[in-house]
Chains A and B, each alone.
Chain A
Amino acid sequence: MSRTTTVCLLTDECIHAVTCERRGRGWEAVARSQQELRLPDSLLVSHNPDELADAIAHAVNESHTSPSSITLVLPLQWCFTHVLARPKKRVTAEALAYEFEQYLPLPLENLTCAFVPSGNGNMVGVGIPTTPMAELIAALSKRNIYVEHITVDAITAAHALDSVNGSSSVMILDARWGRMVTGIKDPGRTVTAAFGLSECDNLAAAVAQQLQHRALSDGGIPPRWSVLCLADTMSESALEPVLNNGEERPCYFSPAEAVDTVALAAASVPQALDLRTGPLAGEGRWSQVTRLASQCMLCVLALLLVLTGGVHIHKQSLDQQFTTVNTAQREIYREVFRTDTLPPGAALRVASERIRLEGLTSVRGTVATQSTEPTLQPLATLRDIVAGLPTDVRVMLLDVRLDDKQLTIRGQTLKHRDAERIVETINNLPELVAHPPRTTRLRTGGVEFSVIATGVRSNGQTSHTGS
């Protein structure tokens, strides 16, 4: 799976977007585009970040790729640099920054710094103004372009070219700007320099002067060095006096070659110098996804809060209604039991009271007496028998036993027939069945009889069979 990245190279008059694709161990430029825009000489002069962002976006879009992130290559002109002496012990970037601050025209708080080790052990401090860069990054972000790395052209090119042709000293020339870096990889003197070329009439003389002034004062021209020309208007012949100045002719890169070289260097070694750190640190490649996730989570959070609030309000309302019901229950309980306190399970107590009262009154009493056994009302039965006796029958009761199940009568009468008529009277009662009487004639006259009758259920079945 090939990996693609877009490098955006800022030069003085033009913005180059180069799409680089990783092939094997190296990178290859697969698409190029450019957008002309005159860049300010410094980030500290007033400029419109949106205008610059528009130009970058245009150049990136022109390269017919849809990158999610780009590497921004800044000109050395926009940076503050200083070579710091070799640290005596391991130090952090923050500690070096305090040392770096004394050579800066701005407070450290306004800069984003990084430190590149040079060949002789010194550290090259590089700082860019934070605020304008942050504005530019934000403007690009609005145009859906995420800046993954920020690097500096001369330093990145010096790193890359050292591994290509062994020349870690480079000079990059634009129409208006020139910058050079020496000693990044080799043990010679480390120099970083940015200079203007717009005011000079003789380009070669101006470059030569810078060479003499900056780099060659104590070491001469480095044995191997490269000149990268980014301006189309600048020809190699115009630089001939400079190129032939040293013992060895430098590698010359035409504008097309120079753009590719710097772009590939930035694509391959962004870690050589990355100013997307400190205050300019990015939120990561997945920042948009995480931002979207954050927004989604916020929405869900708000939804949940609203839902929770709604549920809470509904619960409050139900609680109020429950209180009303509870009050009504207390009122009923108070009316039933004449007490103001509402015990737990009040409804059960009221129901129990209802059941108890049903049990104590005729309703449940009737139910209770509706057993399978017949029940006689003794006195009422006796009254019914006496009331039902024929008026011409004379009877003397000797013994009457009557309970809720059985009637036993022993008495005396005048004739056997009268005993039979007594039994007929008993049988006329619906709740009794009498057996034939047992009679005995008395010597003194008359008949003694005994009758047994048993109670019956409604279906006529007798309850006792032994009588």
Chain B
Amino acid sequence: MDKPLTQAPDSTVGRRTHRRRITLLAGLLALVGLLCWSQWRALASTKDTYATALRQLDQMRIDKERIEKLRRTPRTATSRTRPNEELLAQIEQSLEAAGIDRAKWHDSVPQPAVRLPRSDYKRMTTRLYFEAITVKQLAAFAHHLQSSDPTLHVSAVNLTNRHTDRPDFDVDLAVSYLVYAPQEGRQTSHGLP
């Protein structure tokens, strides 16, 4: 026992305490730094989100005005392929309105859908066959058909005069409408970020 014996340094003022305090402070600093960094990141994220939301709101306001205007505009295309029964019912109504006897409507043949080149539309065509109707009746029928549904239009007319002594024709009429069907992958202008 050659060395002097001394008491252990008091824990309240000792170097160990000081070291502990420094370590604690460093730990706290790191913790608060981390907290500050995460808050900063969250703030940056919120800022981005807010700026995006603000831009979206502006665009939504513009879109809303445009939508309200477009909803008042007559449609030139449909959003879906209409059932054949519905189309035939509409044709019957127009025939009746044009004063054409139902018996003169000989046949109707739906055609395959055809996509218009470089567009978001498909053309749906149904060929109608009539016997012995006059041009006047045909015009009246077309007028009533388009009045009842603006999306429908006559895309082709074949008039054949079988009886030269009568003013009526056998008519082969193509009634078409456009279906709005955007192609997948085709670019559309949303106007959004």
Residues of A within 8 A of B (CB): 87, 90-94, 96-97, 112-117, 121, 123, 271-275, 277-284, 287, 290, 293-294, 297-298, 300-301, 304-305, 307-308, 311-312, 314-315, 318-319, 321-322, 325-326, 328-329, 332-333, 335-336, 346-348, 350-369, 371-373, 377-379, 382-383, 396-404
CB <8 Å contact, B46 and A318: yes
Q: Which of B35-43, B88-96, B97-105 contacts A (4 or more CB under 8 A)?
A: B35-43
* Residues in B1-54 with C-beta less than 8 Å from chain A: 1-10, 12-15, 18, 21-22, 25-26, 28-29, 32-33, 35-36, 39-40, 42-43, 46-47, 49-50, 53-54
Of A279, A333, A357, the contact of B71 (CB 8 Å cutoff): A357
Instruction: Find chain A residues with CB under 8 A from B117 CB.
Output: 371-373
Across chains A and B, which 8 residue pairs bring their CB atoms closest together, nearest first?
A281-B9, A278-B7, A365-B76, A403-B156, A347-B56, A357-B70, A359-B180, A93-B5
CB distance from B155 to the nearest CB of A (A): 6
CB <8 Å contact, A403 and B155: yes
Q: List 12 A-B contacts (CB under 8 A).
A: A97-B7, A278-B9, A304-B36, A347-B63, A355-B190, A361-B77, A368-B77, A368-B119, A378-B156, A398-B161, A402-B156, A403-B155
Instruction: Find chain A residues with CB under 8 A from B53 CB.
Output: 322, 325-326, 329
For B141, the closest partner residue in chain A by CB is A379
Instruction: Find chain A residues with CB under 8 A from B73 CB.
Output: 361-363
CB distance from B120 to the nearest CB of A (A): 6
Known A115-B5, A351-B192; contact A281-B60, beta-carbon cutoff 8 A: no
Of A284, A328, A348, A357, the contact of B67 (CB 8 Å cutoff): A357
Q: Which of B67, B154, B191 has the most CB of A within 10 A?
A: B67
* Residues in B145-193 with C-beta less than 8 Å from chain A: 153-161, 164, 169, 174, 178, 180, 182, 188-192
Known A308-B32, A354-B63, A361-B73; contact A318-B50, beta-carbon cutoff 8 A: yes
Instruction: Find chain A residues with CB under 8 A from B109 CB.
Output: none
Given contacts A314-B43, A362-B74, 6 further A-B contacts (CB under 8 A): A94-B8, A114-B6, A273-B4, A278-B7, A329-B60, A403-B155
Of B22, B70, B153, B156, the contact of A361 (CB 8 Å cutoff): B70
CB <8 Å contact, A351 and B39: no
CB <8 Å contact, A351 and B63: yes
Q: Once the chains are docked, how many angstroms separate the CA of A325 from the CA of B21? A: 47
CB <8 Å contact, B159 and A399: yes
Instruction: Find chain B residues with CB under 8 A from A112 CB.
Output: 7
CB <8 Å contact, B6 and A305: no
Known A329-B57, A336-B64; contact A379-B139, beta-carbon cutoff 8 A: yes
CB distance from A409 to the nearest CB of B (A): 9
CB <8 Å contact, B6 and A396: no
CB distance from A163 to the nearest CB of B (A): 14
Whether a CB of chain A sits under 8 angstroms from the CB of B108 is: no
Of A114, A281, A354, the contact of B14 (CB 8 Å cutoff): A281
Q: Once the chains are docked, how many angstroms separate the CA of A352 from the CA of B139? A: 38
Of A347, A355, A403, the contact of B174 (CB 8 Å cutoff): A403
Instruction: Find chain A residues with CB under 8 A from B160 CB.
Output: 398-399
CB distance from A361 to the nearest CB of B (A): 4
For B164, the closest partner residue in chain A by CB is A396
Q: Once the chains are docked, how many angstroms separate the CA of A304 from the CA of B30? A: 10
Instruction: Find chain B residues with CB under 8 A from A347 CB.
Output: 56-57, 59-60, 63, 192
CB <8 Å contact, A311 and B43: yes
For A333, the closest partner residue in chain B by CB is B60
CB distance from A463 to the nearest CB of B (A): 13
